[in-house]
Copies of this chain bind each other. A is one copy, B any other.
Amino acid sequence: MSRAASLREKHDGALDDRGSVRLWLRLLTCTTVIEKRLKRRFADQYGVTLPRFDVMAALDRHPEGMTMGQLSQALLVSNGNVTGVVQVLVRDRYVSLAPSPTDGRSSVARLTQLGRECFAGLAEAHHEWIEAMLAGLDREERGQLHQLLGVLKDSLAAEGGEE
């Protein structure tokens, strides 16, 4: 069976024939669909939110610990945001928070042993889900897509965020 109805696209059928906007909407739709599936599956199967997974993933790659500011930069979210997410991870014993020995203003977050163990399972599921969602692209297509997104990334860096 598996009719695999084609996905609706945000603002589908736009009269707006301008190619760049269409490209952007397609990019947005793909990302949104993947993100929502990940979110739902993490919630249903592990009782974890995406932001919490993101923090754990960042900490898992930095066993020496990360300050709140480093987390904020790594995850592209605000400082205040990190505060809240880390607080619940600390409450749930997945993350520990210790004052920085070198800078009294900073505290350093680390995964606890429990956090590391839990994260291993999450990362495994995450990888499988992504792999399955990208199954329709062969090796070459993945490489091309990765390369073109690199060009886009550079274009975005060049355009600048009016900073």
Q: Which residues of A contact B (CB under 8 A)?
A: 2, 4-16, 18-24, 26-37, 40-41, 54, 57-58, 61, 73-76, 123, 126-127, 130-137, 141-142, 144-146, 148-162
Docked complex Cα distance between A58 and B15 (Å): 11
> Copy number in this complex?
2
Docked complex Cα distance between A152 and B142 (Å): 9
Q: Are B76 and A20 in contact, CB atoms less than 8 angstroms apart?
A: no
Given contacts A6-B154, A153-B30, A161-B37, contact A54 B11 (CB under 8 A): yes
Q: Are A2 and B158 in contact, CB atoms less than 8 angstroms apart?
A: yes
Docked complex Cα distance between A8 and B149 (Å): 13
Chain B residues contacting A142 (CB-CB under 8 Å) are 19-20, 23
Partner of A6, one of B130, B137, B146, B153: B153
CB distance from A150 to the nearest CB of B (A): 7
Chain B residues contacting A126 (CB-CB under 8 Å) are 21
Given contacts A2-B160, A145-B148, contact A153 B29 (CB under 8 A): yes
Q: Are A7 and B153 in contact, CB atoms less than 8 angstroms apart?
A: yes
